[in-house]
Structure 1
Amino acid sequence: MNGGPIGYYVHHHGEGHRQRAQAIAAQAPGRFTLIGTGVTGLSGPFEVLELPDDRIDGRFSGEDGAADRPDALHYAPLGHPGVRDRTRIIAAWIAERRPALMVVDVSVEVAMLARLCATPTVYVRLAGARWDPAHLDAFRGAKALLAPFDPRCETDDVPDWVRAKTFYASGLGSFPPAADRTGDVVLVAFGRGGSRTTAQDIDEAARATPDRQWRVIGPIDRPTPASPNLDVAGWVDHAEDEIGAAGVVVGGAGDGTLGAVAAAGRPFVCIPEDRPFAEQRAKAAALDGAGAAVVLSRWPSASAWPRVLKQAEALDRRRIASFHDAHGARTAASLIEGWADR
């Protein structure tokens, strides 16, 4: 080990943060400590530090809605015991372990806390127009910015100094190699971030394509009664395996889903979800511009699905595959270690 330990703050809204952290930490055994809510039980050559939950009533929108919140913060609800304990635990870990660096994926508050604790940061910059004062302060205070997406997903209005400070590394996840043979299942993949699509929407799509087998993975209820060609599996531990074996994948533009689809080179129907700072819509626009996916603004009518699926199957799969860097995790880990050891 060339330098001190590296802390990696893992946000708990959405699955992509955990996938990135595990993939990067696996490239530098013994160097990282993953810090966050829900990291207990993650396996790999790293330590974990569990934090209390900071959500209000189990919900998280990215901002606390307080009128008196400083512009440099997004989420700092007053009187919340989880927020107090998280801050105490992180600061105590920094004081005890004296990390060479903190990777922050993502929280402007944790980035500011690390800086107040005299610890340099690398900030994971997600897609979308994140040019508000809080984000810009976090970007400005970081040694470097790591973007877990292809440069084509960048928005046109990105400030020049932010782009110059950014290193792009797609493929930050535990994605298996593309399968030589795949099935003919239409796989609808939902992440933990939530979706506008309902079980009824999917059931109607399945009924409109009786020659197709539909399967749903993720947190969605089974319709009653369900079409005989529809299987609702619920949450699965290895969604990337199911995505890699699907005939067509239908899903949002979250990092986990997009990363697995691109790694496997699967035909993709992308229906971006509403997320803060239009993150998914920025990535969906890039896929649309590259001809890499059938991009729809909303779930289509049942009668449109036969045509939509055929359009997806007719795409050149090399285009979606070009959004995946097979060496992304290795490159990101090497960059982070280099920044930590300077």
Structure 2
Amino acid sequence: MRDLAPDLRPFGYFVHHQGRGHAERCAAVVNALPTTRPVTVFSARDDIFPPLRDGVTVVQIPSLFEPRGDEASGAGAIPTPETLHCAPVGWGGIRDAMGAMTRFFVEEAPELMICDVSAEVAQLARICSVPHVKVLQHGDRSDPGHRAAYDGAAGLLAPFHRDLAQPDWSAAMLAKTHFAAGLGCDTALPGRSEARARLGIASDARVVLVISGGGGNGWSEAPLGVAARTFPEMQWHVIGRLQRDWHATLPPNLHSHGWVDNAPDHIAAADLVISSTGNTTCAQVLNAGVPWIVVPEWRYFDEQLEKACALDRAGAARFLPHLPSSAHAWRRVLADATASHDPSRQQALAGQGGSETTARWLSALADRLWRSAQPSQSNPKEFDYA
């Protein structure tokens, strides 16, 4: 009789609750891990997760950046050191959240803590002698806080293609990075004819889709009104949040749908896409392989700006720092995006989810850290991550 696989010590997983991308990525990873591996997920929201397998527990903790009313006003004036980002003093909610994770470290002795994302949580794991895997995002993260989180990580997890790496990432970072293009994203799209039939769009219509992201306040109506008036022969469809401009004159070929549950239909039906650079949006548009203009929304550390630049460098999209403000600028941008379009390049960067390979990488990393026969290194800084 074959011996049963031994029970494995748990993994911890911190999930940022802004948007749903972090939670969807978490679900893809933990559901692909062996069923003998328990996972405890910490997040300020427990209602953002897709279905999770047995053995995965979600612990709701207070938000690390939203006050709850019991904060000490005087302590809030203490300056934040460069090694931290959001660490106000006198917040009981932060104490409770960090205390919950610290108790988990002490009581459960996890083999890994996966952090998606918080430099403070990553450093907390390291201080508590728990190896952590830091999710790597685009952006200017050269500050001491991010450097400490990355340098102290046992591994880095990048949910995008290797060709979208930033040129300023060091060889040491790349050596311990697992790239998983499309991780946690459902990139499956319907056929164009099927999508247009469901949306009531004629098969011969020329369609531009504008996707306004969910992590911020959305774009303004006015520049899109200029675009739609500039191309009256095209249908302009907008999904996501828009800011109302009292001075915007909106033509009848501009259709704003707000939040939708069928974004893949809209993407599949489009001849050209204009979007911000959120994770799920990028994965789906890359898979669609249509001309693409990326306009970053404001995010901390210029995350969307750096990702838009990476897509442009990789030949997948045309980067703009902002939406065009005139008819002649719109004409030039659409012509450039169409002329430089390379659908094969886009689809090569899209990836196929990556959950299984990521789960194997995490399991192998834990085995190497905890069950390797190699003796400990005399100098921890010389640990070989290759």
Matches within 5 A, 1:156-175: 156-175=167-186
- Aligned in 2, Cα 1:227/1:53: closer, same or farther, shift over 3 Å? farther
**Greater RCO (Cα-Cα under 8 Å, separation 6 or more):** 1
Q: What is aligned with 2:61?
A: 51
How far did residue 279 of structure 1 move?
2.6
Q: 2:43 aligns with which of 36, 41, 45?
A: 36
Q: SS at 2:242's partner residue?
A: coil
- Aligned in 2, Cα 1:211/1:38: closer, same or farther, shift over 3 Å? farther
Write the letter of the residue equivalent to 2:228. A
* Distance in structure 2 (CA, Å) of the matches to 1:326 and 1:285: 22
Q: 1:325 aligns with which of 331, 334, 351?
A: 351
State the TM-score, normalizing by the size of structure 2: 0.77
The Cα offsets for residues 63-121 of structure 1, whole Å up to 9 and x where unpaired, read as xx966323322110112232222112222333444322111011111112223333211
State the TM-score, normalizing by the size of structure 1: 0.86
Tell me, yes or no, if the aligned pair for 1:102 and 1:121 is still in contact at 8 Å. Answer: yes
Write the letter of the residue equivalent to 1:37. A
How far did residue 237 of structure 1 move?
4.1
Q: What is aligned with 2:28?
A: 23
Q: What is aligned with 1:255?
A: 279
* Distance in structure 2 (CA, Å) of the matches to 1:311 and 1:23: 36
Q: What is aligned with 1:312?
A: 337
Q: What is aligned with 2:315?
A: 291
Greater radius of gyration (CA): 2
Sequence identity (%): 40
The Cα offsets for residues 286-306 of structure 1, whole Å up to 9 and x where unpaired, read as 322333212212101341334
* Distance in structure 2 (CA, Å) of the matches to 1:71 and 1:108: 12
Q: What is aligned with 2:80?
A: 69
* Distance in structure 2 (CA, Å) of the matches to 1:207 and 1:312: 19
Tell me, yes or no, if the aligned pair for 1:40 and 1:50 is still in contact at 8 Å. Answer: no
Q: What is aligned with 1:205?
A: 227
Alpha-carbon RMSD across the aligned residues, in angstroms, is 2.8
- Aligned in 2, Cα 1:280/1:25: closer, same or farther, shift over 3 Å? same
Q: SS at 2:219's partner residue?
A: coil
In the alignment of these two chains, the number of paired residues is: 336
Tell me, yes or no, if the aligned pair for 1:40 and 1:49 is still in contact at 8 Å. Answer: no
Structure 1 gaps, min length 5: 59-64
Q: SS at 2:351's partner residue?
A: coil
* Distance in structure 2 (CA, Å) of the matches to 1:67 and 1:78: 7
Q: What is aligned with 2:10?
A: 5
The Cα offsets for residues 184-223 of structure 1, whole Å up to 9 and x where unpaired, read as 5322112233267312222332232222222222232466
* Distance in structure 1 (CA, Å) of the matches to 2:290 and 2:186: 13
Structure 2 gaps, min length 5: 69-75, 197-205, 369-386
Q: What is aligned with 2:119?
A: 108
The farther-off stretch of 159-168 and 191-200 is: 191-200
Q: What is aligned with 2:166?
A: 155
* Distance in structure 2 (CA, Å) of the matches to 1:196 and 1:310: 25
Q: SS at 1:291's partner residue?
A: coil
Tell me, yes or no, if the aligned pair for 2:24 and 2:49 is still in contact at 8 Å. Answer: no
- Aligned in 2, Cα 1:49/1:213: closer, same or farther, shift over 3 Å? farther
Q: SS at 1:35's partner residue?
A: strand
* Distance in structure 2 (CA, Å) of the matches to 1:195 and 1:266: 26
* Distance in structure 2 (CA, Å) of the matches to 1:336 and 1:244: 34
Tell me, yes or no, if the aligned pair for 1:12 and 1:38 is still in contact at 8 Å. Answer: yes
- Aligned in 2, Cα 1:85/1:236: closer, same or farther, shift over 3 Å? farther
* Distance in structure 2 (CA, Å) of the matches to 1:340 and 1:104: 15
